Amino acid sequence: MIAPYRIGTTSFIYPAGWYENARRLAGRVSDVELLLFDPPTPASLPSRSEIAALARLGKDAGLTYCVHAPIGLALASEDPERRRVAVDAIAQVVDVTAPLRPHAVVVHLAAGEREGDPPPADAEAFRRRAADSLDAVLARGLAPAALCLETLEYDFALAEPVVEELGLSVALDVGHLVRDGVPFDGVLSRNLHRARVVQWHGTDPAGRDHRSLRHHPRAEALRLVRALRAARWAGVLTLEVFAEADLDESLALLAELEAEAAA
């Protein structure tokens, strides 16, 4: 059985802009994750002409796009102004990339005022603030299913009721779960049916993540591929690496894993 999912990677493979990365990746992968990590400014976002070029490339090459929204935002902050700034930043990215009709817009929902903070004492209040902010993002015309909350360092069960309430999707960052020593089975079983994206990468012995899948435990890697195939999961499997050598090695290893899983 041919794997039902599509393979993607990031727009940071080559030291070039978003379009040049996508152009060089077309034919090697079927989706490009456009990384828009910085707060939106004219200098940090693709121009209208680059978006138009990306859209033409997508049509001509059969390439789709996932959009990774800015990080370091506080969508569930107790401070209304910080929430407003977070909503505005993500909304700007949604507006700019709308002509691409992204497969997914991936958003970080920090557990506190910044990523890495401990979970909130009042989980229900956190969820209410988060839902209000995300609902404001959806009001910009984004389909709920296209908005993906990414699994972060906290127990994702905290955010799952928000996903359910708003009809959102999930970006399962398996690479970070394994990096942090968190078994991915529970998160996968609860969320694979609503996951549009699975982000995957290895962590090298020095602790650097977003490296080749060579650094991902092979037995767990094979278990993941088998789980995706068994579920006939048809989302985007993003090899979230930032260098051509890591991509080449990851693609080769993924092909081996798929062949083994299909045997």
Greatest extent of the chain over all pairs of C-alpha atoms, in Å = 55
Spatial separation of the C-alpha atoms in residues 114 and 188, rounded to whole Å: 25
Spatial separation of the C-alpha atoms in residues 230 and 185, rounded to whole Å: 14
Closest CA to 240 of 49, 7, 4, 30: 7
| Residue appearing with tokens 């920090």 | 110
Question: Could you report the average pLDDT of every consecutive run of 10 residues in the chain (263 residues)?
Answer: 88 97 97 96 94 98 97 96 97 97 97 90 97 96 97 94 98 93 90 97 94 94 95 97 98 96 90
Q: Give the pLDDT confidence score for residue 183 in this predicted structure.
A: 84
**Contact between residue 98 and residue 54 where contact means Cβ atoms under 8 Å apart:** no
Angle between helices 123-138 and 80-97 (to 10 degrees): 40
Superfamily of domain 6-262: Divalent-metal-dependent TIM barrel enzymes (3.20.20.150)
Q: Give the pLDDT confidence score for residue 155 in this predicted structure.
A: 93
